[in-house]
Structure 1
């Protein structure tokens, strides 16, 4: 079984913000499915589906970003998952230009509070990630204001394309080795 987690903040006021790109990826995947409904479990919205024959749980934690690890850890423990093999987290990254993708097998939080929470709750940094670039704030703009506001029109177009690529990469993660997935999607993720 695979657990695919998109990070974001619950609530309509955050739905279109840069910090919710992880939610956008789960929502884009859900649009490709028929006859499934989200349900509440582990303080998250989840859907159980399959990629080929692999069972998959799609998750959007509803705990706010800085407590995302609580939902993820509960699911990992209850389902007996190995974070290093079975978990993929998709989230926004200011250190990448808007619309860029970067896949990694492990690493630090890089200052991202959602990843920091997951690392703390799981007790490991060894889990797969897809980072979706949202770009840095303009000079004089606070980080919090940057991540909690909507994209410009041009950046949104680039990020929506990246969301589609992130969903393809996440689906591939479910049935292929992650090094192969990283090789394919990292090399193809340059922003045009």
Structure 2
């Protein structure tokens, strides 16, 4: 089974914020696949989908960003999901708004959700799909920025990034992640 994890913070307060773009991609796929996240276990909401390419799970950890690994680690153990069958979708301050970057491993790069995953999974080697949210304007603190919403000017770029990310995930269900990287990096 392939596990598609969108990182974010639960609750209406955080809906639509820069930090929740991983949740947005999972929600987009859940709508597209008619697979609402109705199951709850290990502090996460998920659905299991039977697709022509095989089984897939969409997951939104509800532990808040900084504790995402608690949910993911427990769920992977319970369902016996291999690390190579995981992709994590999250925001990246170091990429322009809407740009995608896919990697198979790496450090947390200051992202607390990824730090938690590395801690709980015991490895930095897992597939990632990062979506650019750009850097905060001068004088704005990073925590305030990542919890802010995208501007109306940014909205079309963000919508396109969510759509492209979903397309990359669907491609990954049938192809090796290295091929997904080749096709979607930088888009």
What is the CA–CA distance in structure 1 between the aligned matches of 2:105 and 2:66, rounded to whole Å? 19
Name the structure 2 match of 1:161: 160
Residue 122 to residue 64, structure 1, CA distance change in 2 (3 Å): same
Name the structure 1 match of 2:45: 45
| Structure 1 unpaired stretches of 5+ | none
Q: How does 1:175-186 map to 2 (within 5 A)?
A: 175-186=174-185
Deviations 1:131-169 (A, max 9, x none): 000010000000011000101111121011001100111
1:97 aligns with 2:96: yes
Q: Helix, strand or coil for the counterpart of 1:31?
A: helix
Residue 107 to residue 35, structure 1, CA distance change in 2 (3 Å): closer
1:29 aligns with 2:23: no
Deviations 1:81-126 (A, max 9, x none): 221x111000000100001000001100111000100000000001
Shift of 1:33: 2.0
Point out the more displaced range, 19-28 or 43-52: 43-52
Point out the more displaced range, 31-40 or 45-54: 31-40
Shift of 1:174: 1.7
1:77 aligns with 2:83: no
Q: How does 1:101-180 map to 2 (within 5 A)?
A: 101-180=100-179
TM-score, normalisation: structure 2: 0.97
Q: Helix, strand or coil for the counterpart of 1:170?
A: helix
What is the CA–CA distance in structure 1 between the aligned matches of 2:168 and 2:74, rounded to whole Å? 24
Point out the more displaced range, 131-140 or 169-178: 169-178
TM-score, normalisation: structure 1: 0.94
Shift of 1:175: 1.6
Contact 1:51 1:171 in 2 (8 A): no
What is the CA–CA distance in structure 2 between the aligned matches of 1:37 and 1:94, rounded to whole Å? 28
Contact 1:95 1:133 in 2 (8 A): yes
What is the CA–CA distance in structure 2 between the aligned matches of 1:65 and 1:126, rounded to whole Å? 19
Contact 1:7 1:90 in 2 (8 A): yes
Shift of 1:36: 4.6
Q: Helix, strand or coil for the counterpart of 2:13?
A: helix
